[in-house]
Amino acid sequence: MKAIEINQNSSINYKWLGMAYYTIEKYKEASENLLKSSLLLDSDFETWRFLGNSYLLLKDYYNAFHSFEKGIDFNKGIEINSNNDYILKESGIDINDSSAIVVINDSSILNNYGVVLANLNRIEEAKKYFEKALEINPNNEMAKDNLNNLNSYLDIENLHIQK
């Protein structure tokens, strides 16, 4: 918090404070700080993912929807290799010799976006995002369970959120 007192225009300070609140499950405080971070720098995938997760865990599906949408949109220019490492397509960087690789669990944002869509009664779209999560990570048990749940029971209350 001292860092924010010193520099209120630093997105990274708000991001890390938001992440700290998220880690201790204070999702309201996390969302407030992550939102401030996103207003200062709107191109950080991780901020959008954790902001969406915070809203989702608060059952604020409208804001979760928009946060995940922004994160997914930001991530569209990213290519996945077999190790689930991500690189920018246009960079042409050799992934075996690069410090520019960003490692993220993209499967989780797609799963959680599916949970949001299901809670907004957009069931068919939700299923597509669970399927996309499984394309990236076939071992994503939560996405498998969520897809099976929607296909079998339409039990939206028991969908799994990935932290």
Report pLDDT digits (tens) over 2-34.
545 555 777 889 999 999 999 999 999 999 999
* Residue 49 domain-assigned (yes or no): yes
CATH classification at residue 41: 1.25.40.10
Model pLDDT, residue 25: 97
* Residue 31 domain-assigned (yes or no): yes
**Do residues 64 and 132 share a domain?**
no
* Residue 116 domain-assigned (yes or no): yes
Mean pLDDT on 84-113: 56
Most confident of 36-50, 55-69, 83-97, 106-120: 55-69
Res 100 pLDDT > 60: no
In terms of pLDDT, which residue wins out, 116 or 152?
A: 116
Rounded to a whole number of angstroms, the CA Rg of the chain reads: 16
Q: Which of 58, 74, 90 is the last residue of a domain?
A: 74
Interacting residues of 63 by C-beta distance below 8 A, sequence separation 6+: 31, 55
Check if the beta carbon of residue 157 is closer than 8 Å to that of residue 102. no
* Residue 60 domain-assigned (yes or no): yes
**Do residues 70 and 2 share a domain?**
yes
Report H helices in 78-163: 106-119, 123-136, 141-152
Res 83 pLDDT > 50: no
- 3-state SS assignment for residue 140: coil
**Do residues 70 and 109 share a domain?**
no
Report the domain count for the chain: 2
**Do residues 63 and 118 share a domain?**
no
Predicted confidence band at 78 (pLDDT cuts at 50, 70, 90)? low
Q: Which of 74, 94, 127 is the last residue of a domain?
A: 74
**Do residues 1 and 68 share a domain?**
yes
Res 66 pLDDT > 50: yes
**85 phi and psi angles, rounded to 5 deg:** -85, 155
**Do residues 131 and 62 share a domain?**
no
**Do residues 2 and 69 share a domain?**
yes
If we measure between CA atoms, which residue out of 114, 110, 108 comes closest to residue 159? 114
Model pLDDT, residue 51: 97
Mean pLDDT on 35-50: 91
Res 90 pLDDT > 50: no
* Residue 39 domain-assigned (yes or no): yes
Structural domain including 123 reads 105-163
CA neighbours within 13 Å on the CB side: how many for 64? 24
**Do residues 55 and 111 share a domain?**
no
* Residue 59 domain-assigned (yes or no): yes
* Residue 81 domain-assigned (yes or no): no
